[in-house]
Amino acid sequence: MFEMGSDGSLGATHHPFTKPQDEYIPYLIDLADKMRKGYTLTDENKKKLTSMESDAYDIVACGYELGGGSIRIHDQKLQHAVFTILGLKEEDIQFRFGHLLKCFTFGVPPHGGCAFGFDRIVMIYQNRENIREVIAFPKNQKYRDPMFGSPSEIDDQLLKDLGLKIVGK
């Protein structure tokens, strides 16, 4: 479910919308509640978090991941807990994902997805070593990804983390 980054930060192994296995849900919600009250994760918490499993799966052939997916979180409280455990501040959670959390209040059925990586299959077929050689980019003629609304504004901390700066024209 979770993994440690090289900088010691906690990240989602698959993605932050992946449902943890049922046995871990009460712990995650309780831990997030404590964190919202100022609790700091201990090494023991981190060890437990990085040992948790999620409802995720991969399709692998000849050592190549050809696709994968997961059962998605469909509960507002659990999704909010995962964002909190990943270190997102309440303001960021609401700005970035408030619409999703609001949708969950209307009752979202359990759901999941599985996607084949056609680009990976093409990479293998073309005997390429890097998937970037076969990905169709940009997404449209205006260099935008309409599904995710990117590129979009990013905050100063993310720029700093990535070692980037915006330079005017």
3-class DSSP assignment, residue 68:
strand
Residue whose tokens read 């999704």? 79
Domains and CATH numbers, the chain: 2-117 (3.30.930.10)
Strand 56-61 relative to strand 64-71, pairing: antiparallel
Question: Over the chain, what is the mean pLDDT?
Answer: 90
How confident is the model over 11-27, as pLDDT tens digits?
A: 999 899 999 999 999 99
How confident is the model over 39-63, as pLDDT tens digits?
A: 999 999 999 999 999 999 999 988 8
